Amino acid sequence: MVNRNIILTLSLIFTCSLTFGQQDSIDNGITISLITGSPGNELYSTFGHSAIRVQNVMTGEDILYNYGTFDFDTPNFYIKFIRAKLLYMLSIDRTIDLARYYQRENRSITEQVFNLSNEQEMRLMNFLIWNYLPKNRGYKYDFFYNNCATVIRDIFENRYGIEYNIKENQNITFRELLDEYLYKSPWSDFGIDLILGLPADKKADFRNQMFLPDYLASNLAQATIDGRPLMQAAEILQPKMEVSSRTGLTPMLVFVILALIAIIITLSKNQIVKNIFDIIIFSACGLAGLFFLFMWFGTDHIATKGNWNVLWLNPLYIISIIGIMRKSNKKWLRISFAVYATILWLLLLTWGWFPQQFNMAVIPILITLIVRSMDREGVMLDLIKKAASYKQQASRQTKTN
């Protein structure tokens, strides 16, 4: 955290500038720009970062106003973080510290200088200084609508009334925007698709696309202020070294193998193996369903509401697993798996028409659950018996002929 003397110095400078009525034709030695950090390898840095850079030749200060931080010492930190009740806050960092950190992370830094008048720069600086006061720096974070990028967008929209010269407005959803950053990280893509609900499939217009730092940079570059471009051309301050990445085992491959194992186990007559497999698979899915229901109803996360993955990650699996562990042969257990199989089949058959976009790796998981549900309800056994009987009849008929 930057020493508070920096804030006092900046405040004094801008107050003096206002007092003496400095003309816009005279350079005040202040440069304010948008800094965009490229995506990193860790999940929290997958989508990049935005910050406001302030350089002051009079004091030699070069600092960043960063809206993407939080306090680990907050009481009940993890509970508040999971439930989206943790306040994010504005912090101030030295630009050189960020540059060194990004260099270690092999992440690029791009700068776009704002075309602001002296008076506009002073207004922005006074706002940032006020915003950094302890009582003002906290804000309610939201992944899509209130993050490090959208806060900066809102500052310029609300305080300067900028206008956009929209060249293109893509018809794209929030989820599809995220996919642009996740194609090299299939497991992260799979996990994010699981936890994000129906709000992620809402169309993101030109303005809402700016929840992503790259889109904030490119879309603000199409904005004007008082009839002139809001920003100068982008300059790469720190390049990124290209590194080859290895995908390894993808979710699709892993779950296809799982489906094949489920089919082999179903065709076997080893009931102990079947029970163990079902207890593991259905328990994992049931617990995941409970977690997604909690993220839906027990948190303030907008993006995790309306998550229809709970149709196949059914929390009721837990009850059926208890029946299997108790070796129950009651009718209710078979009926429950018949209901599961029906729901899973309907989900698979309506895959392309469902309003929420599911990850493609879910398909082999659905097949696994369908096969095991049908076996539990007795349908698979009947089908196998009928197939065997038909084969025997065909063989006898061949011999007779």
Q: At 49, list the tokens.
A: 């970062």
Residues 224 and 300 placed together within one structural domain of the fold: no
> Which structural domain, as residue segments, surrounds residue 369?
251-390
- In one-letter notation, the amino acid at residue 150 is T
**Strand bridging mode 163-164 / 138-140:** unpaired
Residue 247 in this model has a pLDDT that exceeds 70: no
- Cβ distance 151 to 259 under 8 Å? no
Rounded to two decimals, what is the model's pTM?
0.85
Give CA–CA dist 341/33, Å, rounded: 56
- Cβ distance 191 to 309 under 8 Å? no
Residues 291 and 225 placed together within one structural domain of the fold: no
- Cβ distance 235 to 111 under 8 Å? yes
Residue 295 in this model has a pLDDT that exceeds 70: yes
Which ranges of 54-147 would DSSP assign to H, the alpha helix? 77-82, 95-105, 118-131
What is the distance between the terminal CA atoms of the chain, rounded to a whole angstrom?
Answer: 90
Is 395 domain-assigned? no
* H-run or E-run covering 37: strand 30-37
Is 198 domain-assigned? no
Strand partners, 49: 37
**Helices and strands (DSSP H and E) totals, the chain:** 14, 12
| pLDDT at residue 19, as a whole number | 42
* H-run or E-run covering 376: helix 362-377
Residue 22 in this model has a pLDDT that exceeds 60: no
Residue 336 in this model has a pLDDT that exceeds 60: yes
Is 291 domain-assigned? yes
C-alpha distances (whole Å) from 292 to each of 145, 193, 284, 308, 321 are: 21, 12, 12, 9, 19
Residues 22 and 110 placed together within one structural domain of the fold: yes
C-alpha distances (whole Å) from 312 to each of 135, 191, 365 are: 45, 15, 9
DSSP string, 319-387: HHHHHHHTT---HHHHHHHHHHHHHHHHHHHTGGG-SSPPPTTHHHHHHHHHHHHHHHHTHHHHHHHHH
Percent with pLDDT over 70 in the chain: 85
- Cβ distance 68 to 54 under 8 Å? no
Is 31 domain-assigned? yes
Domain count, the chain: 2
Residues 345 and 226 placed together within one structural domain of the fold: no
- Cβ distance 33 to 114 under 8 Å? yes
- Cβ distance 295 to 326 under 8 Å? no
Residue 9 in this model has a pLDDT that exceeds 60: no
Cα of 370 vs its chain's centroid, Å: 29
Residues 258 and 227 placed together within one structural domain of the fold: no
Give CA–CA dist 123/119, Å, rounded: 6
- In one-letter notation, the amino acid at residue 302 is I
pLDDT band at 331 (very low <50, low <70, confident <90, very high): confident
Is 398 domain-assigned? no
Residues 263 and 328 placed together within one structural domain of the fold: yes
Residues 216 and 286 placed together within one structural domain of the fold: no
Residues 256 and 340 placed together within one structural domain of the fold: yes
| pLDDT at residue 78, as a whole number | 76
Is 191 domain-assigned? no
- Cβ distance 46 to 39 under 8 Å? yes
In three-state secondary structure terms, 120 is helix
Average pLDDT value for the chain? 87
Residues 99 and 234 placed together within one structural domain of the fold: yes
- Axis-axis angle for helices 271-297, 362-377 (nearest 10): 130
What secondary structure letter does DSSP report for 40? -
Residues 261 and 223 placed together within one structural domain of the fold: no
Residues 231 and 259 placed together within one structural domain of the fold: no
Is 396 domain-assigned? no
Is 245 domain-assigned? no
Residues 28 and 124 placed together within one structural domain of the fold: yes
